[in-house]
Amino acid sequence: MKLISNLLLLASAALLVQAAYAQDDSLAKGEYLTRAANCVACHTVSGGEPFAGGVEFKLPFGSLFSPNITPDTKTGIGAWTDDEFVSAMQTGVGRDGKHYYPAFPYTAYSKMSRDDILAIKGYLASLEPVEQAQRENHISFPFNQRWGMVFWNLLFLDDERFQADSQHSEEWNRGKYLVEGPGHCGECHSPRNLFQAVSSDRSLAGNLLQGWNAYNISSDPVHGIGAWPTDVLAGYLKDGAAPGLGLSSGPMAEVVENSLRHLTDADRQAIAVFLKDSAPRTEGVPRPQQVTLAEPGSGNALGNKLFADACASCHRWDGTGSQSQTAMLLGLKTVNDPAASNLLGILLSGHGSADMPVDRLMPSFGTIYNDQELAALSSFMLQRFGDSGAQVSVPAVAKRRTESLH
């Protein structure tokens, strides 16, 4: 009997250890998927508690504020059942039948499996609860009538889970799942129609989002990423830099910082493989094609002087960059966009965090230069390093100052 008791104790201990390992694996999976979905970006205000909500989304018909998704039972999701959480993620319908607006990308999360979604819930449940009430939305009539989302979902929600395509490789399918599911790339990088739904026939063709240009990331070689080598694109997803091709800034830099750099090399490569094979979209800002550099000193006098004083030491007059290749301006859409959306955003707010290498940091000139000076400087850069020949107006700079810079 003693032998049997000892064996039972050993078996119980083994089961407990196995359960502990399984729980650790589930939490690790949940944390990974939470990063892949970049939940922290939309549910954390600058300087606030992670996942406590309150981020404002400015839409054509008003402002929405993200909810608290910490495990607080009063103001967060601590009291939510598994079914309620899965419903919110897959159908946009939360507790008590409450419909969410598509600023919450449930149209992408609908492709995720129940197991993956519950792994995210499990990870969020392991965090410290934060009591922070939901900020009130300010939506104009008739868009403030949430029941209307029933009809919106009928028209635009594809409530189907991801299914692998047997005609493509496992890597391609993994990339498609990450891009169209948790990564929800098309939610930012695709134009929206009159009803604020993603235009399916223009997916990944680029979009203007709160002042920032989320560029075309389809396989088109001029307007998209078709000319990028696959390994370079995968590296960009990790480092946010592809010299002569692209440099992440604004919200995209935050996506790299909070999400993409934490993925495995295999997953970043899978994303790159899928994007390189996506349908080409020939719209949006093209990469500069035929740039002939003028002699230093040419161009508008004020812009020339400001570039000499503040920019040439790092970026060089030929745009090749002196401190590192990440300072290269040649080949970037940033200096070829006639609206100068991202260029002005970077000039106004700077680029990079305090823990980044010094050769990756870009200072802010928003408080140093006035609107006339920034208009002259950005015009000079567009005309020197791009081929659009665009001229940035003073009112355009003033307007850009009022828009979100992060």
Q: What is the pLDDT along the chain (406 residues), one digit of tens a residue?
A: 565 665 555 445 444 444 444 556 899 999 999 999 999 999 999 889 999 999 998 887 889 999 999 999 999 999 999 999 999 999 999 888 889 988 899 999 999 999 999 999 999 999 999 999 989 988 888 878 888 889 889 989 888 899 999 999 999 999 999 999 999 999 999 999 888 889 889 999 999 988 999 999 999 999 999 999 999 999 999 999 998 899 899 999 999 999 999 999 999 999 999 999 999 999 999 999 877 777 766 678 999 999 999 999 899 999 988 767 788 998 999 999 999 999 999 999 988 766 666 666 888 999 999 999 999 999 999 999 998 889 999 999 999 998 865 4
Using CA atoms, how far apart are residues 375 and 302, in angstroms rounded to an integer?
10
Angle at CA of residue 311, ends 308 and 314, nearest 5° = 120
Q: Is 23 helix (H, G, I), strand (E, B) or coil?
A: helix
Give residue 318's Cα distance to chain centre.
Answer: 31
Task: Say what the pLDDT of residue 9 is.
Answer: 54
Please answer whether residues 269 and 234 qualify as being in contact, where contact means their C-beta atoms are separated by less than 8 angstroms: yes
Task: Say what the pLDDT of residue 15 is.
Answer: 46
Task: Say what the pLDDT of residue 299 is.
Answer: 73
Question: Which residue from 258, 239, 356 is spatially nearest to 32, judged by alpha carbons?
Answer: 258
Task: Say what the pLDDT of residue 60 is.
Answer: 79
Angle at CA of residue 283, ends 282 and 288, nearest 5° = 90
Query: Sign of dihedral through CA atoms 274, 285, 332, 292?
Result: positive
Q: Is 96 helix (H, G, I), strand (E, B) or coil?
A: helix
Task: Say what the pLDDT of residue 21 is.
Answer: 42
Exposure of 158 by Cβ count < 10 A (0-12 exposed, 13-18 middle, 19+ buried)? exposed
Does this model's pTM top 0.85? My answer is yes
Task: Say what the pLDDT of residue 23 is.
Answer: 55
Pair of tokens at residue 168: 């493509």
Query: Sign of dihedral through CA atoms 164, 167, 171, 175?
Result: negative
